[in-house]
Amino acid sequence: MNAYTIAEQLYSMAKNGEDGTIRIDGGTLPQTGYYVGGEAPSFIVDSLDNLDRGELGWWVGNNSATYYGVWVDSASTERKVYIDAVTHMNTKAVAVLLGKSRGELAIWDIANMREIDVCRNKD
């Protein structure tokens, strides 16, 4: 997929309230392991009304990653929308360390479909 197609898919997911991850080649997503954001600086918007496809396309085009994720920080009062270039890791310990080193709030446990808070050291 090109940057515009990826941006369109991420935009649609965000607008439809769908948290999730896409793979740039359209291939099958991993069923186990952990997604860790922070492969590039996040694309963050404070409101879906401010989400711009052109800006998102530019961001995708300037941040090469195999996976991109969309999620809403439900713990924040603003419910910020985050679009991240993410890394897939196989082991939890390594994923947590990577998340902490990148300053991430959380990582995603794929098999258990749950967020693991790494900044407050809870899981």
* Backbone φ and ψ of 107, nearest 5°: -120, 170
Interhelix angle for 53-61 vs 3-15, to 10°? 130
Residue whose tokens read 């935009």: 11
Q: How far apart are CA 121 and CA 109, in angstroms?
A: 15
Domain boundaries, the chain: 3-90
Per-residue model confidence as pLDDT tens digits over 88-115: 999 999 999 999 999 988 899 999 999 9
Residue whose tokens read 């910020």: 80
Q: What is the reported pLDDT for 93?
A: 95
**pLDDT > 90? residue 39:** yes
Q: What is the reported pLDDT for 90?
A: 98
Q: What is the reported pLDDT for 10?
A: 94
Q: What is the reported pLDDT for 49?
A: 79
What is the reported pTM? 0.85
What are the residues facing 31 on neighbouring strands? Answer: none
Q: What is the reported pLDDT for 114?
A: 93
User: β-strands 114-117, 81-89: how paired?
Assistant: unpaired
Residue whose tokens read 């258990």: 112
